[in-house]
Amino acid sequence: MLVARREQRLRRLAEQLGGEYEVCDVGDRDAVERMAAAVRDRHPLISLLVNNAGIPARGSFETVDAERIEQVTRVNYLGGVWCTRELLPALEAGRPSHLVNVVSVAGTVASGRAGPYTAAKHAQLAFSRSLAAQLRSRGISVHTVNPGFVETEGFPQRGRLHSRLLERLVLDPPVVADAVVRAIEHDRREIFVPRWYRGAAIVQALVPGLVARLAGATGYRDSET
């Protein structure tokens, strides 16, 4: 069951996969409620939910439009909250089941040049970790996936980074997809893709001042264009 905003692309992909789709903007709580009701009506038992929706917000809290800050918070954080709340009864009915939240390394390492995006991802990470503690006893395994830079249509990473070194670290989506499958198969609660990104999270926790200085020297341009 595929969920996204663009029906033409959803239909084409669903046909390729032999699956189904529902058109929905996960940042719209009313739309999520309608989508979830339709899904539960056809599939009252769900064994896997993947919260993967995300949009960029390149720039600081000073430079990003207020509307964009609200939008990135709704999609990147609240979208997963609404989808999980509405589909949780079906996950419980289908247990043992799995919930995957695709967060980001940005949820563990703060960057002033992408402040609104980073803040939304920090919230999403806290949400995912709290769910892992809450739902384990109810037969639902929660997996938090923290990728680094990934090249997608919505996140054209190559060419936007100041550093050639960082550009060489950009991953393609199949790498992350494989990591998600492994996390489910091996029941991993939280993973980083690649694994060595976990070191960045440790450094952030131990010496946040150093991370702040490094983030000021490298990273995204402030412009959306």
* 117 a catalytic residue: yes
Distance CA 220, CA 174 (A): 23
DSSP per residue, 18-44: T--EEE--TT-HHHHHHHHHHHHHH-S
- Which residue's structure tokens are 């054209």? 156
Q: Residue 126: which residues within 8 A CB-CB, separation 6 or more?
A: none
Looking from the CA of 17 toward its CB, the CA atoms found within 13 Å total 11
Selecting among 21, 77, 117, 220, the annotated active-site residue is 117
Give the DSSP letter of residue 74.
Answer: I
Neighbours of 62 (CB within 10 A): 8
- Residue 39 and residue 87 in contact, taking contact as beta carbons nearer than 8 Å: yes
- What is the arrangement of strands in the sheet containing 140-147, beginning at the earlier edge strand? 48-51, 97-102, 140-147, 190-193
Query: Of how many residues is the chain composed?
Result: 225
Looking from the CA of 109 toward its CB, the CA atoms found within 13 Å total 26
Name the strand (E) or helix (H) holding 66: helix 66-73
Q: Which residues are catalytic?
A: 117
